[in-house]
């Protein structure tokens, strides 16, 4: 297809948009024209990609406008499949047993499973020969951090880069705006105060929209129960480092039997017996949990922001702004620090890997490297000039209409904006060689637009410029996240102990919370004995070694 005529048409559309103020009808015309132009049926190399991450909303990467342009720029078309359900372990084990691998795989939590099965292609030589874009955005030190601890090879380029400036706290103990406004906008930091506020509010407001007000709930569906397991560690002032906390000597310690855990579940037990805890907490699935938050009748819960964004979107679309939850940096009394904004370092979680079944791994790697090029990154994250952004004097800008659209999840999904994030990309806040930000979210226009009027009320009340400023700044650790350290198959006893301890915790924490007050201490002792018998902290020594290895690699 000749590019001359469509480009002229696009230029005319852009001129009309500028003349007529970007009306919705002209916006739609520009989008449709861009879609038509980039709907190419060229003969591309096709690779299959399987995404193991059950968090990801399925999207056919090659059929969106962004995806089609990526194919045009790279010469590669992806045939993408996503895991069905949330049992990543079972799916990975089946793939390994049958050796039915796609060309490319994003293994998520099952990297160690595929690595142990020798299912993945080392990338070291390809990076040296063809990785010019990868070496531009990953330093030698960062590449060393991605080396497999067993054989020292690199099998993926992690997509878990340093964050952009945070718009919202990464996690926290939430309360609705209505509650905070009614109390005069206090910053809640005390564990006891937080739960007392909930108790008092529910007593004064037992019904919301003809349904019982829920004092506190928690997410317990499948692997997402980690939020219930991890909350005590946050209350003790620690960041999310998986199932352990790390001391000043870089030694890992499981906190599952800590005094923090005892105290937190004891409080939830108190709430259960007073009728303030969600009675469906241990039986509802993730969708039901989000629906309850979206109903506006839940007062308190702990979670990470990304898991509740769908519920917040529902509340916003219904204009029920006073029930939108706001995160608070709650800690136990006597704790002086908190880490709810998490850790801001490059993680080492798995990105896209090439499998042994790929017939042309060299071309596959060249495609992965091309995904890290500036011309592809501009399309992936910005979209199309004149449609998704404008350029004035070389600077990328976002009109009000464009800002509105990139904040619309349906539009972003349909267009495919940002949908290739599993592939290599720079840190948040990075800039292209022309001085423009890699990510629109880092621009001043985006930051100013993102907050809605009800959020601006919160910002003004707390004298903040960012909602994330309710919490301490993100931490930088010399060892990364820790939660992304996989236990290899070469450590079967640790893996077995971890699984057994997780099963025991899931069962007993529910029993502890739902027990009578008189039963709590006896059940806790029973729980502790079973966890110790299972070797609940067997991974501590291994994780300590890995933490110290990471520090040594980073310091090379």
Would you state the structure tokens that stand for residue 122, as one six-digit string? Answer: 């080392």
| Residue carrying structure tokens 């070389």 | 394
The answer to whether residue 368 scores a pLDDT higher than 50 is yes
pLDDT band at 554 (very low <50, low <70, confident <90, very high): confident
DSSP label at 409? H
Cα distances from 83 to residues 50, 404, 461, 491, in angstroms, run: 7, 31, 44, 26
Mean pLDDT of all residues in 529-549: 97
- Among residues 385, 348, 296, the alpha carbon closest in space to that of 69 is found at 385
Which residues contact residue 73 at a Cβ distance below 8 angstroms, ignoring those fewer than 6 apart? 370, 373, 375, 376, 379
The pLDDT-based confidence of 448 (bands split at 50, 70, 90) is confident
Strand partners, 147: 154
Question: Are residues 150 and 488 in contact, defined by beta-carbon separation less than 8 angstroms?
Answer: yes
Q: What pLDDT is recorded for position 56? A: 85
pLDDT tens for each residue of 373-392 = 999 999 999 999 999 999 99
Instruction: Tell which residue, 498, 514, 19, has the closest CA to residue 244.
Output: 498
C-beta of residue 123 within 8 angstroms of C-beta of residue 155: yes
- Residue pointed to by tokens 């929209």: 209
- The pLDDT, as a whole number, for residue 98 is 97
End-to-end Cα spacing for the chain: 51
Residue 164: which pLDDT band, with cuts at 50, 70 and 90?
low
Q: Cβ(511)–Cβ(503) under 8 Å?
A: no
Closest CA to 368 of 200, 550, 123: 123
Whether the pLDDT of residue 2 is over 70: the answer is no
- pLDDT at position 250: 97
Which helix (DSSP H) or strand (DSSP E) does residue 106 occupy? Answer: strand 104-106
Rounded Cα gap, residues 368 and 76, in angstroms: 10
| pLDDT beyond 60 at 40 | no
Q: Which two tokens stand for residue 73?
A: 């720029």
pLDDT surpasses 70 at 26: no
Give me the sign of the Cα torsion angle 214, 219, 222, 225. Answer: negative
Alpha-carbon distances of 536 from 228, 287, 382, 493, rounded to whole Å: 17, 30, 46, 11
pLDDT digits (tens, 9 = 90+) for 478-497: 998 999 888 988 899 999 99
Model confidence at 21, in pLDDT bands (50, 70, 90)? very low
Question: What average pLDDT does range 307-312 have in this prediction?
Answer: 97
As a whole number of angstroms, the distance between CA 284 and CA 173 comes to 20
* Other CB atoms within 10 Å distance of the CB of residue 88: 19
DSSP 81: E
Average pLDDT of the chain is 91
Exposure on the CB side of residue 255, measured as CA atoms within 13 A: 30
Q: 416: how many CB neighbours lie within 10 A of its CB?
A: 23
d(CA 331, CA 338): 7
Residues near 42 by Cβ (< 8 Å), separated by ≥ 6? 71, 72
Of 257, 288, 196, residue with least CA distance to 509: 257
Q: Which residue did the predictor score with more confidence, 42 or 404?
A: 404
Q: What percent of the chain has pLDDT over 70?
A: 92
pLDDT range class, residue 18, cuts 50, 70, 90: very low
The maximal CA–CA distance of the chain, rounded, in angstroms, is 79
What is 254-302 written as a DSSP string? E-TTSHHHHHHHHHHHHHHHTT-B-TTTTT--HHHHHHHHHHT-EEEEE
Give yes or no for residue 459 having a pLDDT over 60. yes
**278 has pLDDT over 80:** yes
Q: Band of the pLDDT at 20, cuts 50, 70, 90? A: very low
Region 98-106: mean pLDDT is 98
Domains located in the chain, CATH noted: 1-37 (no CATH), 45-163+349-449 (3.40.190.10), 171-340+454-485 (3.40.190.10)
Q: What is the predicted pLDDT for the residue at 445? A: 87
Angle at which helices 4-19 and 24-37 cross, to 10°:
170
Distance (Å, rounded) from C-alpha 229 to C-alpha 242? 9
* Residue 30 confidence class, pLDDT cut points 50, 70, 90: low
Query: In terms of Cα–Cα distance, which of 6, 149, 125 is closest to 550?
Result: 149
**C-alpha closest to that of 219 among 106, 145, 306:** 306
Average pLDDT on 295-306 reads: 98
Token pair in block for residue 527: 């729980």
Of the chain, the percentage scoring pLDDT greater than 90 comes to: 81
Look up tokens 């406008």; give the residue. Answer: 65
Structure tokens that stand for 273 in this block: 């017996």
Total residue count of the chain as it appears in this document: 556
Q: State mean pLDDT over 164-187.
A: 95
pLDDT score for 515? 98
Residue 38 banded pLDDT, cuts 50, 70, 90: low
pLDDT of 239 above 80? yes
Q: Is the separation of the CB atoms in 398 and 445 below 8 Å?
A: yes
* pLDDT higher than 50, residue 139: yes
Give residue-wise pLDDT tens across range 506-516: 999 999 999 99
């Amino acid at each position: 297809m000749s590019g001359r005529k469509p480009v002229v048409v696009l230029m005319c559309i852009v001129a009309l948009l500028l003349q007529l103020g970007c009306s919705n009808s002209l916006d739609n015309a520009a989008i449709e024209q861009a879609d038509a132009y980039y709907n190419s049926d060229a003969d591309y190399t096709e690779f299959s990609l399987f995404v193991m991450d059950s968090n990801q909303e399925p999207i056919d990467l090659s059929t969106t406008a962004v995806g089609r342009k990526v194919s045009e720029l790279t010469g590669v078309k992806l045939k993408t499949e996503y895991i069905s359900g949330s049992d990543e372990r079972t799916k990975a084990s089946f793939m390994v047993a049958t050796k039915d691998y796609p060309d490319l795989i994003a293994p998520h939590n099952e990297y160690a499973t595929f690595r142990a099965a020798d299912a993945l292609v080392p990338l070291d030589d390809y990076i040296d020969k063809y990785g010019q874009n990868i070496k531009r955005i990953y330093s030698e030190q960062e590449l060393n951090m991605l080396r497999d601890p067993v054989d020292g090879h690199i099998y993926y380029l992690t997509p878990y880069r340093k964050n952009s400036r945070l718009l919202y706290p990464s996690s926290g103990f939430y309360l609705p705006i209505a509650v905070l406004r009614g109390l005069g906008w206090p910053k809640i930091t005390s564990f006891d105060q937080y739960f007392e506020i909930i108790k008092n509010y529910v007593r004064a407001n037992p019904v919301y929209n003809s349904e019982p007000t829920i004092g506190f709930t928690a997410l317990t569906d499948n692997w997402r129960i980690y939020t219930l397991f991890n909350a005590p560690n946050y209350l003790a002032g620690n960041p999310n480092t998986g199932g352990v906390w790390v001391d000043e000597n870089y030694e890992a310690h499981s906190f599952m039997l800590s005094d923090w855990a005892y105290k937190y579940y004891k409080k939830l037990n108190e709430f259960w017996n007073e009728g303030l805890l969600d009675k469906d907490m241990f039986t509802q699935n993730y969708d039901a949990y989000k629906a309850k938050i979206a109903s506006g009748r839940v007062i308190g819960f702990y979670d990470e922001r990304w898991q509740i964004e769908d519920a917040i979107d529902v509340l916003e679309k219904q204009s029920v702004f006073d029930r939108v939850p706001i995160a608070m940096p709650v800690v136990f009394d006597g704790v002086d620090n908190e880490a709810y904004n998490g850790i801001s370092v490059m993680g080492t979680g798995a990105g896209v890997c090439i499998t042994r079944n790929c017939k042309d791994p060299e071309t596959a790697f060249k495609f992965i490297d091309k995904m890290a090029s500036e011309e592809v990154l501009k399309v992936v994250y910005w979209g199309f000039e004149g449609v998704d952004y404008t350029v004035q004097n070389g600077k990328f800008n976002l009109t009000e209409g464009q800002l509105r659209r990139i904040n619309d999840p349906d539009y972003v999904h349909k267009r495919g904006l940002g949908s290739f994030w599993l592939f290599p990309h720079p840190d948040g806040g990075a800039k292209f060689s022309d001085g423009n930000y890699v990510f629109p979210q880092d621009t001043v226009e985006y930051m100013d637009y993102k907050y809605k009027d009800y959020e601006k009320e919160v910002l003004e009340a707390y004298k903040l410029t960012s909602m994330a400023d309710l919490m301490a700044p993100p931490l930088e650790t010399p060892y990364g996240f820790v939660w992304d350290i996989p236990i290899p198959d070469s450590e079967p006893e640790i893996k077995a102990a971890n699984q057994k301890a997780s099963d025991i915790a899931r069962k007993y924490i529910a029993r502890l919370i739902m027990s009578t007050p008189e039963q709590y201490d006896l059940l806790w002792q029973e729980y502790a004995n079973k966890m110790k018998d299972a070797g609940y902290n067997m991974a501590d020594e291994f994780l300590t070694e890995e933490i110290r290895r990471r520090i040594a690699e980073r310091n090379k």
